[in-house]
Structure 1
Amino acid sequence: MLLGLGSSLPLAAAPRRDFAAQYRPDRRIVVDTRREGDSVRLYLRFPSARLLRRGFPLHVALWNDYDAKRVLWQDTVRHAARRLRREGEAATLDFCLPLTRLRVGQVLSLATGPADEAASGEAAWVRLTPEHLSRSFILTDSVGQPLLRHYVRAGEPFMIDSYGADLSVQAYRYPLSSLAAAPPMAGPGALPAQPRKLSAQDSVRYRAGSLLRFQAGLYLLRVREQEPRSGLLVEDNTFPALTSADELIAPLIYLTTSAERKKLFDAPDPKKAVDQFWLTVAGNNQPIARQLIRTYYGRVQEANQLFSAHKAGWLSDRGMLYLVLGPPETVYREAGEERWLYRADQGMGGTFVFRAKPSTFAPDNYELVRRPEYEQLWYAAVEQWRKGRTARPGR
């Protein structure tokens, strides 16, 4: 265990934590876990090694919930900087915690810097699920470095690094979903019916540690029968970025009519038609058109990085708002709930409530609480895009 003796003064939360940094890819610390006997190993990736402040340890704190006022316990990982592995601008490290100190439903926060930063929304936060405390494997790249993501590209080589010798992995493949989120004002009758159960298309057994390449699909992975199954999304092409004409047209569902999208799909050169769509939106101003394209498809890529689970992140409820309104300016979390706040800017201010709806494929899934009063705000935001003068809240 790489833990110090702990801090003498218990952490106390600020009046209310703002978790908006969790939805800024350039500031977000990514966390994954693996069960190793009577311990849990935590893997962290910092988007920039500059976020690790020289001389400060890594502070680890455990809370009853995201909005808890007092810490259950706290400790430090000393000399964390010496254990860093550089990955370009990013940096990763790992360490172990005793399993006896952790419970399902509790929340870990991890941060470098002054001790009280582990109590702020800027820290890495992770609610402990049965998967976090029981899963005995992680995904790695072809040379054994942790991926710290639950998606890969079709044909991308990766490995399943299991704790324990001579273990096999059972993989069940399910069809991918292309169902986009309904608008925030949609009533219950407007929401498409969701299948209550998915049927596996096939299943294959692999040896843990072997080099794997999967075809596109949604997968459930299991190493041991007593462990919960873990979801893996496998997408085509350059995911999380989108490059093909069909991929570029699909996210326009939030800004266009079905007739407009059909015209784009049916065009002799769909990719050129997409460029022309944005040029028209920009009033034939090429610099503005390029900025709109960078902003919108940049948000698509970021949403895929942040929210992908049972389907591509831009298709999810949080991904939908992220694309059209941008990253939330303020995020509050309570037991089973998130609130995204946008300031009143050009008529687009509002608060959106998400409620946790975890599943086997997506243990961190949240669904938007849809309300009729969102209609004016939503159409005002879409109009900003359609007139080429999109405000960029939170940027």
Structure 2
Amino acid sequence: MSSCSLFMRAVFSCLLVTLFSLSSLSGLRAAPRRDFAEQYRPGRQVLADTRREDDSLRVYLRFPGNNFRPGQVMYVAAWASYTAKQPKWQYPVRMRSGHFRQEPSGTWVDIALPLSRVPLGQIISVQPSLVPASAATAPSKAQPSNAQLPPPNSDYTDGALWLTITPARLNSSYILTDSLGLPLLRRYLRTGESFGVSSYGAEQILQTRRYALSSQPALPPMTNPAAVAQPRTLSLADSASFSTGQAVRLSSGLYLIRAGSNSAWSGLLVEENSFPELTSADELIAPLTFSTTSAERKKLFDAPDPKKAVDKFWLDLAGGNQALAKQLIRTYYGRVMEANRLFSAHKAGWLTDRGLMYLVLGPPESVYREVGQEQWVYRSDPERAATYTFRAKPSTFAPEHYELVRRPEYERLWYAAVEQWRKGTTVRAGR
């Protein structure tokens, strides 16, 4: 064989390898992992609750912002898993009068799904249309045309809600409402805050059981939970009953509630003061448990004016720089408040495993989900770059509770993150 032929074969082989590599890279780019981090960014969470209504499941949602328009389309889709590339089915639902309301706090929507389409274990997503309401036309068919679907490169997470259909969702015939009668869409209240119960069908009796609040913070990510004694039982403090037609106010505590004798119990957290915000000195000092020693916290608690002592603590960390101290305070306690909003269930959100990581490391840069598991990824700061895995550990009080998989190798990363707070460099670097 001539040297020219050998040369041409080598060139052809190189071209094939290059084309195959480019094709593979293109495929990877076309199908990235679905990222749910938006739900953990301040002001981006979509809130939801559900109520069983005969042969339908009604989904109540509140989307952030109020730039929706009457007649705009919501795309409802069902998925076999969080990583599925294509939905099992999808159809548009137009927002109709009486089921769509815009308020300064967000946009309220409710839609009804046939129970036959949402079996136990099904994962449902609800996404606002990506085109103006005037350009979206909901078809009469169950399956919309391609022009009415989100674009092919959409990962169905932009401004969307993802919801797993659990036994509790399929069996609950009521939702909690606020003082205005709107869906509450959260499982925490403030002491004395008025709320109600909206039942489907006959009026039911609301039953409550109260337990003591927990102040036990989550353990650092490198700590072996088996080495630390944890309380395993709760003692019943009292119980009460209310008509679902009356306004209800509760004292602080961890509650089990249910409307009717046939429904399942669910958890409700009732906290004092301005929860999820922090106002008292004790509330400001307690979250410092992750970045201070016990002696430092005792000194703050015992100070003649604890609030002034907290201000001085942050000013000292900032080296006397008042502007930096204010920024540190805003960032730290802003994260506490956001963790309370996001993760409160059987205890205040900042006390939970996800609240712990959110407070010290900030919102995760990427969140990947599988059934029963979440992975939080931090990558921008080399000193703290890591992936943390949380596994679902649901309970009656906290059906969406996740626990961190703790590892010894997280120790160096953890102390590096704490040290950045101690030196006041967390906000300097824009972290």
TM-score higher than 0.5: yes
Q: Secondary structure at the match of 2:236?
A: coil
What residue is the counterpart of 1:6 in the other structure? none
Residue 325 in 1 paired to residue 340 in 2? no
Gaps of 5+ in 1: 1-12
What residue is the counterpart of 2:399 in the other structure? 363
Give per-residue Cα distances to partners, 1:10-38, cap 9 Å, x unaligned: xxx94310010111132221111111122
Q: Aligned partners of 2:199 and 2:69: how far apart in 1?
A: 32
What residue is the counterpart of 2:183 in the other structure? 146
1:344, distance to aligned residue in structure 2 (A): 4.4
What residue is the counterpart of 2:122 in the other structure? 106
Q: 1:293 aligns with which of 298, 323, 329?
A: 329
1:165, distance to aligned residue in structure 2 (A): 2.4
1:89, distance to aligned residue in structure 2 (A): 4.1
What residue is the counterpart of 1:29 in the other structure? 46
1:167, distance to aligned residue in structure 2 (A): 1.3
Q: Secondary structure at the match of 2:278?
A: coil
- One-letter code of the match for 1:137? Y
Q: Which has the larger displacement, 123-132 or 71-80?
A: 71-80
Q: Which has the larger displacement, 110-119 or 142-151?
A: 110-119
- One-letter code of the match for 2:82? Y
1:70, distance to aligned residue in structure 2 (A): 2.7
Q: Aligned partners of 1:55 and 1:212: how far apart in 2?
A: 35
- One-letter code of the match for 1:383? E
Given that 2:327 and 2:427 are in contact with CA atoms closer than 8 Å, whether structure 1 keeps it comes out as no
1:352, distance to aligned residue in structure 2 (A): 0.3
What residue is the counterpart of 1:63 in the other structure? 79
Q: Aligned partners of 2:44 and 2:367: how far apart in 1?
A: 15
What residue is the counterpart of 1:187 in the other structure? 224
Q: What aligned pairs does 1:32-111 form with structure 2 within 5 A after superposition?
A: 32-50=49-67, 52=68, 56-79=72-95, 83-111=99-127
- One-letter code of the match for 2:419? E
What residue is the counterpart of 1:136 in the other structure? 173
- One-letter code of the match for 1:311? K
- One-letter code of the match for 1:104? L
1:83, distance to aligned residue in structure 2 (A): 4.4
- One-letter code of the match for 1:201? A
Q: Secondary structure at the match of 1:310?
A: coil
Q: Which has the larger displacement, 63-72 or 104-113?
A: 63-72
- One-letter code of the match for 1:280? D
Q: Aligned partners of 1:89 and 1:335: how far apart in 2?
A: 31
Give per-residue Cα distances to partners, 1:76-135, cap 9 Å, x unaligned: 111458843122141111121111211222211111124337742332111121111111
Give per-residue Cα distances to partners, 1:237-263, cap 9 Å, x unaligned: 000001100000000001001111011
> Percent sequence identity over matched residues?
59
Given that 1:25 and 1:306 are in contact with CA atoms closer than 8 Å, whether structure 2 keeps it comes out as no
- One-letter code of the match for 1:307? F
**Residues 361 and 153 of structure 1: is their aligned pair in 2 closer, same or farther, counting only changes over 3 Å?**
same
Q: 2:410 aligns with which of 353, 365, 374?
A: 374
Q: Aligned partners of 2:220 and 2:166: how far apart in 1?
A: 30
Residue 169 in 1 paired to residue 206 in 2? yes
Residue 116 in 1 paired to residue 153 in 2? no
Residue 15 in 1 paired to residue 25 in 2? no
In the superposition, the TM-score normalised over structure 2's length comes to: 0.84
What residue is the counterpart of 1:3 in the other structure? none
Residue 343 in 1 paired to residue 359 in 2? no
- One-letter code of the match for 1:19? F
- One-letter code of the match for 2:66? A
Given that 1:33 and 1:43 are in contact with CA atoms closer than 8 Å, whether structure 2 keeps it comes out as yes
Give per-residue Cα distances to partners, 1:134-189, cap 9 Å, x unaligned: 11111111221111111110001111111122311111111111000000000234
- One-letter code of the match for 1:375? E
Q: Secondary structure at the match of 1:201?
A: strand
Gaps of 5+ in 2: 1-29, 131-148
Q: Aligned partners of 2:429 and 2:98: how far apart in 1?
A: 38
Given that 1:303 and 1:322 are in contact with CA atoms closer than 8 Å, whether structure 2 keeps it comes out as yes
**Residues 164 and 320 of structure 1: is their aligned pair in 2 closer, same or farther, counting only changes over 3 Å?**
same
**Residues 393 and 46 of structure 1: is their aligned pair in 2 closer, same or farther, counting only changes over 3 Å?**
farther
Given that 1:325 and 1:393 are in contact with CA atoms closer than 8 Å, whether structure 2 keeps it comes out as no
Q: Secondary structure at the match of 2:289?
A: helix
Given that 1:329 and 1:393 are in contact with CA atoms closer than 8 Å, whether structure 2 keeps it comes out as no
Q: Secondary structure at the match of 2:309?
A: helix
Q: Which has the larger displacement, 113-122 or 274-283?
A: 113-122
RMSD of aligned residue pairs (Cα, Å): 2.0
- One-letter code of the match for 1:179? Q
Given that 1:328 and 1:394 are in contact with CA atoms closer than 8 Å, whether structure 2 keeps it comes out as no
Given that 1:35 and 1:136 are in contact with CA atoms closer than 8 Å, whether structure 2 keeps it comes out as yes
- One-letter code of the match for 2:397? F
Q: Which has the larger displacement, 160-169 or 289-298?
A: 160-169
Given that 1:327 and 1:393 are in contact with CA atoms closer than 8 Å, whether structure 2 keeps it comes out as no
Q: Aligned partners of 1:295 and 1:81: how far apart in 2?
A: 40
1:394, distance to aligned residue in structure 2 (A): 9.4
